[in-house]
Structure 1
Amino acid sequence: MPTGSPTQLIGLILTTVVVIGAGAVLSVYFGRRASTSQDWLAANESLPLFVVVITQFAASTGGGVLIAHVGIGYQAGWSVFIYEGCTLIGFLILSWIARWLREQRFTTVPDVITRLFGKNKVITAIAALAALAVPFGWIATQFVAFARLFGQLTGIPLPILVVVIVIASLSFVLPGGMTSVAWTDFIFGLFKITMSVVVAFYAIGLAGGWTHITETVPRRLWDWGGFTAVGGQQIWLWIAAIIPGTLTNQLYFQRIFATKHIADARRGLNWSGVTMLISGIYAGCIGIAVRSMAPNLANQEDAAGWLLTRLPSWMLMLFAAFLVSTIVSTGGAALQSVTANLVRDVYQNLAGKTAGERRTITLSRVITVLVSVVAGILAIAFPTALSWLVATYAYSAAALAAPIFLGYLFHRRLRLRPIAAIASMLAGILGCGIAQLLDTTVPYAVYGIAVSTVVLLVLVAATAEKRVHTNTNEKVRNA
């Protein structure tokens, strides 16, 4: 049943239409810069530093922050900063190889692994599936977030709302792929940063101020103990899944590939990591404020939706614009990332197909529509946000972390063999799956990454050959 007045519902619908329409117009405008398939798939090294920083933030803070992270704040207070901090640490570590990634002119994560271990279709297939996991999980998360939030307020059935957000996400991606997504994310990202702070402070005021909150919410959530209130096991799960997952998340890699200047690759990641703390402020403040006003919600992920139903009309319209821009921008970024994998790695590298510029862009758009439909169906069938995030991060990291980072560490001195990467990725996925089925105390992502690392080290020792540099040109090629 809808919880808003008829006037609010009309205003909410109009706000949603305006935001989606504005995003579509921006996407078409910036999409005109995408004249080639490389522009569509990777923005072709065109993004200045300030755009990279904000678009990384915009891509990172989507439905997961709106639903799952606010839920963490509601249940465990400042522990949400541990989650955001894991992303920050991942960005800082990723900056270690950012310059090299940018210099190599990659398009997708499988490009990185084949550059390190040699071209091989099995490597490409496994790496493509692993790289798809996180952005595909993000797509479903955005759809779930929109449907749950607006469903609580409007009473519109979840499947209808999923269809709406699918269409909205497509309007961001289809005009220009990565080029339109990145620039539209930049515009919306600035709005998201501003509204994150505004909504957080408004929620505190709505709850009666910080003093009243501290009187009504358990101390363990809002004092220094709040940073660990979620419990040690959950923190280790986040550390084991989110940090490696960030290190292997293709959305972040793509923005490194797209930087206009090589020197900006590292700086962009460092500043983007700092902006992630804004998400913690937003989610923590809202979660704790709602806990003060509604301490007995049956599901912690309903906290953000509950707040929606308590806002005055003018604030509801602003919040609705914030929610839609957040969800659509992140969903569009993830959708484009999945499409880039399927076109680059499956169609071109695995199937060995080639096509002209116009046909490649057309194929990319068709695949984008198909992926969004599949994600929408899964979002309807499995409408839980946090489980999508943690599971996809864990399996992606288990498969990709060791080959990418150990491969980078060894590749200058050793000629690595494809078998090492293949066995490492498969072992990581298998180890992660077995540990999850056994419901181990230690987070299952740890087992996957550990097994993948051991297998890679053993096979590198057994199969790799020392690289001999015969001249200066070869040194440059192997750098």
Structure 2
Amino acid sequence: MNQSMAVLLATTLILVATFFATSFINNRQKKKVVGNASEDWDVGGRSLPLYVVIGTQFATAMGGGILVGQVGNGYQNGYSVFLYGILCQLAFIILMFIADWLRDNNFATIPEILQHFSGPNKTVKILAGILTIIVPFGWICGQLSAFGKLYSTLTGFSPTILTITLAVASLFFVMPSGLKTVAWTDFIFGILMVIFASAVCFHTLSLAGGMENVLANVPPEIVQFPSSIFSVGLYTSVLWVFSLVPGGLTNQMYYQRIFACKELKEVKKSLWITALVCIIAYFWAVTVGLSVRSINPGLGADREMATGWLLTQLPTWLVAIFSGLIIAAILSTVSSGVQSIVVNLNRDIYRTLHPDCDSSKVLKISKFLSVIVIATAVVLSLAFPSVIKMIVTSYSFSAAGLLCPIFVSYAFRNKNFITKNAILAGMIVGIIACMVSMLFNTSIPYVIWGIIPSGISMVVVSKIEQKEDEINRIAK
């Protein structure tokens, strides 16, 4: 059996087996519990057990960024992968401090959190919905791009055809019940990722002659601790700090898993366990990346093809296993991203404008929107194939527009200080400032220019409105 046939067979078996396993689990659950179809789609019926929440958080957070971007980062910059990974996982740790409050209020989306502070307001909810879409959409485009690159190397097929194929496949895991099917699919994919990644890592280390030999054959400046943590340079390190952490804190896919957890007491546990498991995945990325550099130091600027080159060195049976890792990692993130975006489009935008829409129509609209979202993502991923840049950019815009409105409002939640117009100002000023700084190509990371004015504008507008209220009271 040649490599292409082995890859296609392994991929088909994984997809079919996962689809039927997920369908079987969901059908059994439907017999036990009669739930609301809309709640199942949006927040998994708020009934997901701890192990599924951890599995879906892990599988969603990992993906093409790990397989392509971070292996390439490990190849070029060594231990700086750990900086990227730690910053990404800080979001889970910070969310632990507000997790109980989030779950107590039965939110389903980030716009609902902001509306909790602003009161019923269509403008706040719709604008927040648009901004919330940015991160998952960036993720989807990045994952589709990564899949096209990797599977093109494996099969010889056109990246365009492969990208479209994955997009269609992802719909099979979103359409049945939204987050409920996506979460269980992610859990299964998460298990497969751990198994397949371990096999690939051990074999790659063996090819490189073991870790001791790897460290001896790569530039010492990228593996010296702790200086190598910042080997990507000061500017990129600062950009990561101010985009990855705030971006994670405005990533609705993480919030949805908090909302979906069955037991309130297990929400915090799910977050710190997920962070720990994800850090281990970054150890995998740096180990594989450095091993490839030890074997072939000549890739140069084409570092994102480190994974692709590795695939040409593996035996057919292991390439088939690696193909399983790719499909599990990438498809889980794509399906999660599509589901998250559709919830915003439907729940926060369409249903805000059409509040009398019945549940059966809501479900049909969700499925229709899923097709539109994935089709748009395919077009953009083919036009902008750089994986890490796409994800970091999407994080930056989301952080600029949403971080302060969420967390400044939360900080003053008991003070009756932040107003509806302050929340609107924070979103609008943050995103405009971020865009302007990008156009001027400033030396200071553009996300900082977005976050700082966003927070300042919220405080200023709130103060002004407080003064106006005070003047009006005196006048009366």
**TMscore range, shorter length:** over 0.9
Q: Residues 69 and 283 of structure 1 are in contact (CA less than 8 Å); yes or no, is this contact kept in structure 2?
A: yes
One-letter amino acid of the structure 2 residue matched with residue 9 of structure 1: S
Q: Does 1:184 align with 2:185?
A: yes
Pairing of 1:21-36 with structure 2 (within 5 A) = 21-32=16-27, 33=30, 36=37
Q: Does 1:357 align with 2:352?
A: no
Name the residue aligned to 1:434: 436
Per-residue CA distance 1:2-51 (angstroms, 9 max, x = gap): xxxx6111011111111121222233234444651111111121012222
TM-score normalised by length of structure 2: 0.93
Q: Does 1:344 align with 2:363?
A: no
Q: Residues 200 and 281 of structure 1 are in contact (CA less than 8 Å); yes or no, is this contact kept in structure 2?
A: no
One-letter amino acid of the structure 1 residue matched with residue 93 of structure 2: L
Task: State which drifts further: 21-30 or 36-45.
Answer: 21-30
Name the residue aligned to 2:155: 154
Shift of 1:101: 0.6
Task: State which drifts further: 33-42 or 97-106.
Answer: 33-42
Pairing of 1:326-341 with structure 2 (within 5 A) = 326-341=329-344
Q: Residues 70 and 304 of structure 1 are in contact (CA less than 8 Å); yes or no, is this contact kept in structure 2?
A: yes
Shift of 1:127: 0.8
Shift of 1:130: 1.1
One-letter amino acid of the structure 1 residue matched with residue 313 of structure 2: R
1:11 maps to which of 6, 13, 20? 6
One-letter amino acid of the structure 1 residue matched with residue 304 of structure 2: E
Task: State which drifts further: 20-29 or 180-189.
Answer: 20-29
One-letter amino acid of the structure 2 residue matched with residue 316 of structure 1: V
Task: State which drifts further: 244-253 or 227-236.
Answer: 227-236
1:303 maps to which of 283, 303, 306? 306
One-letter amino acid of the structure 2 residue matched with residue 263 of structure 1: K
Shift of 1:124: 1.4
Name the residue aligned to 2:402: 400
Say what the alpha-carbon RMSD is for the aligned residues. Answer: 1.7
Counting matched residue pairs gives 461
Q: Residues 193 and 278 of structure 1 are in contact (CA less than 8 Å); yes or no, is this contact kept in structure 2?
A: no
1:321 maps to which of 324, 342, 366? 324
Gaps of 5+ in 1: 1-5, 466-479
Task: State which drifts further: 94-103 or 291-300.
Answer: 291-300
Q: Residues 399 and 452 of structure 1 are in contact (CA less than 8 Å); yes or no, is this contact kept in structure 2?
A: yes
Pairing of 1:210-359 with structure 2 (within 5 A) = 210-224=211-225, 225-297=227-299, 298-349=301-352, 351-359=353-361
Name the residue aligned to 2:121: 120
Per-residue CA distance 1:142-179 (angstroms, 9 max, x = gap): 11111000112222111100111011111111111100
Gaps of 5+ in 2: 468-476
TM-score normalised by length of structure 1: 0.93
1-side partners of 2:466 and 2:188: how far apart? 47
One-letter amino acid of the structure 2 residue matched with residue 292 of structure 1: S
One-letter amino acid of the structure 2 residue matched with residue 24 of structure 1: F
Q: Residues 87 and 276 of structure 1 are in contact (CA less than 8 Å); yes or no, is this contact kept in structure 2?
A: no
2-side partners of 1:194 and 1:51: how far apart? 17
2-side partners of 1:314 and 1:263: how far apart? 43
Name the residue aligned to 1:370: 372
The alignment-based identity, stated in percent, is 36
Shift of 1:346: 1.1
One-letter amino acid of the structure 2 residue matched with residue 21 of structure 1: V
Q: Residues 105 and 257 of structure 1 are in contact (CA less than 8 Å); yes or no, is this contact kept in structure 2?
A: yes
One-letter amino acid of the structure 2 residue matched with residue 240 of structure 1: F
One-letter amino acid of the structure 2 residue matched with residue 420 of structure 1: A
Name the residue aligned to 1:470: none
Give the 4+ runs in structure 1 shifted more than 3 A. Answer: 30-35
Residues 27 and 374 of structure 1, relative CA distance in 2, 3 Å threshold: farther
Per-residue CA distance 1:213-248 (angstroms, 9 max, x = gap): 223210112231322211121111111000000111
Q: Residues 89 and 243 of structure 1 are in contact (CA less than 8 Å); yes or no, is this contact kept in structure 2?
A: yes
Q: Residues 188 and 326 of structure 1 are in contact (CA less than 8 Å); yes or no, is this contact kept in structure 2?
A: yes
